[in-house]
Amino acid sequence: MKRCLNCMEIYKDEFDVCPFCGFIEGTEPEIAYALPPGTVIADRYIIGTVIGAGGFGITYVAWDTQLEIKIAIKEYFPTGLVNRVPETLPINLTGMNNEPAYRKGMQGFIAEAKALAKFNESSGVVNVFDCIEANGTAYIIMEYIRGKSLEDLLKTGRTFSLEEILKITDTVLKILDYLHSRKPAVFYGDLKPDNLMISAGTLYLVDFGSATF
């Protein structure tokens, strides 16, 4: 038996295509500099396919071999400051002059994880389980949200009634109001359909990479 590196389900060794999600074993990452599926982080987390990527990081689906659950891992990878040889683990600075900015950014990345961890179990904010430093970078270990972003739904032609739009807006405002009321306050800086995840009727605000604390 083997584990699919896209949906993390188990299926028989004789198949090269996952019967659950259709992922073909050995498929190259969509992003050339992303970690190859199957990479193991901290002797515990098995990296899967890329969920999304931005200016400061890459988010992967992953498997926690200790808790035996599907998770998400966000890797600190500021484009322009670093690169990676395809199919390798370490990242490399594009120039030594970039090191101060890279280190400062990583401190902010870790601070993001610590701040988000304080909101665990709060409605509308993804849970953070851990933050680790390895391979010259940092990784945020997070809850995996089973759902689609508002942007993905819109791209499929999904339409929303006025009632649904008002409900989404009201939920987002309540989440933001909660974040702003914290001490210290958290100001979210990247509100867009791609960062609004809908899972089983619950809306989540994700990707706090541009937030200020």
Strand intervals (E) in the chain: 2-3, 10-11, 40-41, 45-53, 57-64, 69-76, 82-83, 92-93, 128-134, 137-143, 148-149, 196-199, 202-205
What confidence tens digit (pLDDT) does each residue in 25-59 have? Answer: 888 888 888 999 999 999 999 999 998 888 889 99
Is there a contact between 126 and 140 (Cβ–Cβ < 8 Å)? no
Tell me the H-state helices in the chain. 99-117, 150-155, 162-181
What confidence tens digit (pLDDT) does each residue in 121-157 have? Answer: 777 888 999 999 998 899 999 999 988 899 999 999 9
Beta bridge partners of 142: 72, 128
Q: Which of 18, 128, 120, 9 has its CA nearest to residue 68?
A: 9
* Residue 183 neighbours by CB distance under 10 Å: 4
Percent of the chain whose predicted confidence (pLDDT) is above 70: 100
Separation of alpha carbons 53 and 174, rounded Å: 26
